[in-house]
Amino acid sequence: MRYDLVDLKLFVAVADAGSLLRGARQCHLATSSASHRIARLEASVGTLLLERRPHGMALTAAGELMREGARQTLARLEQMHADLLPYASGARAQVSIRANTTATNIFLPDDLAEYLRQQPQVRITLKEAASPDIVRAVASGEAQIGVLGGDVSTGDLHVQPYRQDRLVLVVPPGDALASRARIRFSEVVDAPFITLHTGTGVHTFIMNKAAELGRHLDVRIQVHGFEAVLAMVSAGVGCGLVLQSTLTQMPRPQRVVSLALEDDWAPRQLRLCVRDPAKLSHHARALFALLAAHNTI
């Protein structure tokens, strides 16, 4: 079974617009040509993908599957083209990394800069992801190196420590807790919190720790990064749990007071994972070694 890329793009456009006319216009095709292409696509898969209705077109159940598959296929092709572009500009190699929020925002910028000063012709593809997704990407070969946190299972992957960090509580300067040096999470679990968005490793971890105490965390605002958490806390919106490194490495320090958490889960270990260090490309192996050398334990 063969698929024409123009047909796939047209099908997605028609499905999204709910109209053959609008979909054809988006793809710069005549309506008659678009209709022929859709009919040919349906014939190739052996079933109807779109239902013709008086005021447009609707997806069948098969059409829903086709649209999702077509979107993934087109996205993968776009990524392939993007990955190939550096080679046209003289790059010798490309290294792909999946990393969690902490590593992406705090540690990797300096470490990757150090690596690229040594290897200026290498191009790096860095994508932020949750730790379970990082494990899947490395295990499947989508990424050569993973940087993850928490206690997520890594299966048969080769794992090495990367960075040691620690969760701390941050409160506004005038808060009643600002005079404290240390605190337990159970003492503040009912307070309003600013957290990272749902799906990030830190958010999931904090919510689970509240659940272990029989509480549902009062999340007042969700934001995209630690710097935004600190800004909200500084403004008096609530308190937050951030990594200690956030306070020292963020480009714009915020006016907050940090309290050490006495809970035994406060220390956080970042880990590196690969399928097999010996089978990494020369450039990926060099980056893996550089990152592993930053282990602070």
Whether 5-80 shares its CATH topology with 88-155+269-292 is answered no
- CA dist 178 → 121, 156, 207, 239 (Å): 49, 45, 23, 11
pLDDT single digits (tens) 12-38: 999 999 999 999 999 999 999 999 999
The number of residues making up the chain comes to 297
Class in CATH terms, 88-155+269-292: alpha beta
Per-residue pLDDT of the chain (297 residues; tens, 9 = 90+): 677 899 999 999 999 999 999 999 999 999 999 999 999 999 989 999 999 888 889 999 999 999 999 999 998 888 777 767 666 666 567 899 999 888 988 899 999 999 999 888 888 989 988 888 999 999 999 999 999 987 788 989 999 999 988 999 999 988 999 999 999 999 999 999 999 988 777 888 899 999 999 999 999 999 988 889 999 999 999 999 998 888 887 655 668 999 999 999 999 889 999 999 999 988 899 999 999 998 854
The answer as to CATH 3.40.190.10 being correct for domain 164-268 is yes
Question: Which CATH number is associated with domain 5-80?
Answer: 1.10.10.10
Under DSSP, the state recorded for 117 is H
Which spans in 199-267 are helix H?
201-212, 226-234, 244-249
Supply the pLDDT for residue 297. 47
Residue 45: how many other CB atoms lie within 10 Å: 14
Supply the pLDDT for residue 252. 59
> Mean pLDDT for the chain?
89
- CA dist 33 → 6, 29, 37, 58 (Å): 11, 6, 6, 19
Supply the pLDDT for residue 77. 87
Partners of 223 in the beta sheet? 196
Supply the pLDDT for residue 225. 84
Q: Which amino acid is at 29?
A: L
Supply the pLDDT for residue 207. 92
For the chain, the domains span: 5-80, 88-155+269-292, 164-268
What is the pairing mode between strands 145-148 and 257-261? unpaired
pLDDT single digits (tens) 200-254: 778 888 999 999 999 999 999 999 888 899 999 999 999 999 988 888 876 556 6
